[in-house]
Chains A and B, each alone.
Chain A
Amino acid sequence: QSVLTQPPSASGTPGQRVTISCSGSSSNIGSHYVYWYQQLPGTAPKLLIYRDNQRPSGVPDRFSGSKSGTSASLAISGLRSEDEADYYCAAWDDSLRGRVFGGGTKLTVL
């Protein structure tokens, strides 16, 4: 069981908006920035969102992040087939004195 809780799967049709949730606690999301990673099949993870809601250069503005209290969300609008991937949230955890990841959400584009 991961410290950060994500739904194992999500799906949507092209053009739709999907949201992936990430639930934590006061020792991680509640007091530290949240990061989101995209992992396409057979590849290394890629940073998608940093500091809760910031996009690295090159990441389309279809991807957005938000945080409230001890939960965070990743939203993908205008869903495209190439968005089909695993998505992970991450944060620092004060209690564990380490970085923690969510279990990952497999996004399927129908």
Chain B
Amino acid sequence: EVQLVESGGGLVQPGGSLRLSCAASGFTFSDHYMDWVRQAPGKGLEWVGRTRNKANSYTTEYAASVKGRFTISRDDSKNSLYLQMDSLKTEDTAVYYCARDYSSETLAPGYWGQGTLVTVSS
């Protein structure tokens, strides 16, 4: 069974940094694309970025709203995905979800974690 468990959320001041983690189990982690998606309180879903799998050299892509401030990385030996968030702004306040592609042929998010809340406030 695919399981994704996010951690690392919390309260941080504007301009600060935070690192989120996503622990994966139930599948061969290195085979899959992984995404981060966020949801501000009472708002819709917003794609943050993704990392491709080992076969595609772990390349990353980011939404314009976070490019240059957020960095996605992964450690296949630990079955873990990370989101390093720097220069945080109040508008980054959201629940952050990690998600795995549905399949190797269908690269959109198909499995989601429960999310972790990040609050950026002074």
Contact = CB atoms under 8 A, between A and B. Distances in A.
Interface string B35-51: 10100000011110110
The A contact surface, by secondary structure, is strand
B113 interface: yes
B106 A50 contact: yes
Contacts of A98: 47, 49, 61-64
Nearest to B113: A44
A35 B113 contact: no
Contacts of B9: none
B64 A96 contact: yes
Contact of B47 (A39, A50, A99): A99
Given A101-B46, A102-B44, A50 B112 contact: no
Given A97-B61, A101-B44, A45 B102 contact: no
Contacts of A100: 47
B70 interface: no
A51 B106 contact: yes
Interface in B36-87: 37, 44-47, 49-50, 61-64
Q: How large is the interface on B (under 10, 10 to 19, 20 to 34, 35 or more residues)?
A: 20 to 34
A88 B62 contact: no
Nearest to B4: A44
A103 B112 contact: no
A107 interface: no
Interface string A75-103: 00000000000101010100011111111
B108 interface: yes
Interface string B93-117: 0000100001000101111111100
B47 A47 contact: no
Contacts of A86: 44
7 contacts: A2-B44, A44-B97, A44-B115, A45-B97, A50-B106, A50-B110, A104-B44
Cβ-closest 5 pairs across A and B: A99-B47, A104-B44, A44-B112, A101-B45, A35-B108
Interface of A: 2, 33, 35, 37, 39, 43-47, 50-51, 56, 86, 88, 90, 92, 96-104
